[in-house]
Amino acid sequence: MGQRDRRYEVSEAAWRVIVREGLDRTSMRAIAHELACTTGVVTHYFRDKQDLILFALHQVTQALLQGMRAVQQQPLGCDRLVAMLLTFLPLDTKQRDILKVWVAFLGYAVGRPELMAEHQRSAGELRALVMAELQALQGAQYLRADLDPAVEANALLALVNGLGLDSLIQAQCLNLEQQQQVVQRYVERLQ
């Protein structure tokens, strides 16, 4: 197994611990226990908890971008935009875990400027992809010409982030089908 593969294995173990225990109880020791190895193995790949957390955030962003880009293989249209936005919602176990890691990171980053800056950079990547999609839809006349893609990208991300967060806190309020309907209705109003 290569060093890169082992680094991802350590990161995946960190994800499991974060999802199960929460970020505050995630430690290098807990991750080593998850991997059935010594903390020395973990610190070989990650200097400290913050280094590991930054890598985990990067993995969250890459997973979301990968999901959105996979959806972009579909024909251009508002249904594609909806499908891209649904990648943010906890529609399955993997997406739920991604959301839990993202929420844990966000809470941990508050009051830590270097971590918050990384979170903002990651969010900017996602926003840019949504904005580009909105511009393409607008250019193809699927969306109203008077819309500001930057404003709508922010609104759409706030919507799916809020729905995702709410689903973790109070799942009984909006089931997954209802969350999808909320996203669909908002996109329909942009047409």
Do 89 and 28 share a domain, yes or no? no
Going by the DSSP 8-state scheme, the letter that residue 25 receives in this structure is G
**Do the domain assignments include residue 51?**
no
Res. 48 pLDDT band, cuts 50 70 90: confident
Res. 116 pLDDT band, cuts 50 70 90: confident
Confidence at residue 45, expressed as pLDDT on a 0 to 100 scale: 85
Do 183 and 106 share a domain, yes or no? yes
Do 72 and 138 share a domain, yes or no? yes
Q: Which domain holds residue 7?
A: 1-46
Do 40 and 76 share a domain, yes or no? no
Do 40 and 75 share a domain, yes or no? no
Do 25 and 78 share a domain, yes or no? no
**Higher-confidence residue: 41 or 79?**
79
pLDDT in tens, 135-161: 999 999 999 999 999 999 999 999 999
pLDDT in tens, 173-185: 778 888 899 999 9
Going by the DSSP 8-state scheme, the letter that residue 75 receives in this structure is P
**Do the domain assignments include residue 52?**
no
Confidence at residue 3, expressed as pLDDT on a 0 to 100 scale: 62
CATH number assigned to the domain comprising residue 129: 1.10.357.10
Q: How is residue 45 written in tokens?
A: 């790949």
